[in-house]
Amino acid sequence: MSDQAPRQLSRYESIKQQLTLMQSQFAAALPPQVRPEKFLGVVLTGLRLNEKLQGADRTTLYGSFLKCAQDGLLPDGREAALVMFGDKVQYMPMLGGMLKKVRNSGEVKKISVQVVYSADQFDYELGDEDRLTHKPALGDRGEPIAAYAIAWLKDGSRYCEVMSREQIEKVRSVSRAKNNGPWVDWWDEMARKTVFRRLAKWLPQSTDLQQLLEHDNENYDLEQPKPVVAAPMARLKQAIGIAPAVEQPPEPESTGGDDATDAAYREITGGGS
């Protein structure tokens, strides 16, 4: 009998062992068109190439892979990405995954999502007949200034959304990953995803697409607390010395303007004022 102690598994080997045991869970969550073997292969390739993920909190890591499987996306950086906050992992659907859901609906004939740069020729006009023309510059295209998304549906209808860089940055300001991950490494890709999300409200809403957008909403902090402002009547009572002895909840009052969170929410959803 050998007295040699068993070799300790590396972090990658340990995670691989657990993920292999979870293959039946992935199979149950994945749609029929995505084979569990392919999904697991993409997962393990990404892990092998990303040492930070290997050291991440295991609960959030495995949970992120399961969410990815539920949405039927591959965590390859194109359909979906895994973003780290400290040692925690957050699943983030990407534009490729959203377009995949739209194409699977069978109701969209064509879709284009592009970034506009300062050296490009770009003209966008609203009116009785909206018009958009974009001629990308050859060579150095300069800095990104806008992004747009156009969808042509099979029923003949056409929908278009355009967002300036300032509007895109408002959305980024409430993203939990605004200072790391895709917003830093792939700004152009996140700009395209942002304008597509705004376009999505016009597209046929399948259950798959709705679920994907809801999962992506978890990556935005749209419930930041707002400062409490005394209502006009409360200020008047205080000024003339008849404020109640027991403090009452302040009456709602408009601050006369929108904070960054409200503005960013409207940029995401395309809602009006």
Please give the helix or strand (H or E) that residue 145 lies within, else none: strand 144-153
**Bridge partner list, 92:** 81
Between these two residues, 125 and 221, which has the higher pLDDT value?
125
What count of residues does the chain have? 273
pLDDT in tens, 244-257: 544 444 444 444 44
Q: What is the DSSP letter of 188?
A: H
Both tokens of 2, joined, read: 């050998």
Flag whether pLDDT at 263 surpasses 80: no
Q: Which residues pair with 123 in a beta bridge?
A: 133
pLDDT exceeds cutoff 70 at 264:
no
Residues linked to residue 114 through DSSP beta bridges, in sequence order:
148
Identify the three-state secondary structure at position 99: helix
Q: Dmax of the chain from CA atoms?
A: 93
CB 211 within 8 A of CB 111: no
pLDDT at 142 over 70: yes
Q: Is the distance from CB of 220 to CB of 123 less than 8 angstroms?
A: no
The model's confidence at residue 273, banded by pLDDT at 50, 70 and 90, is very low
Whether the model clears a pTM of 0.75, i.e. scores above it, the answer is no
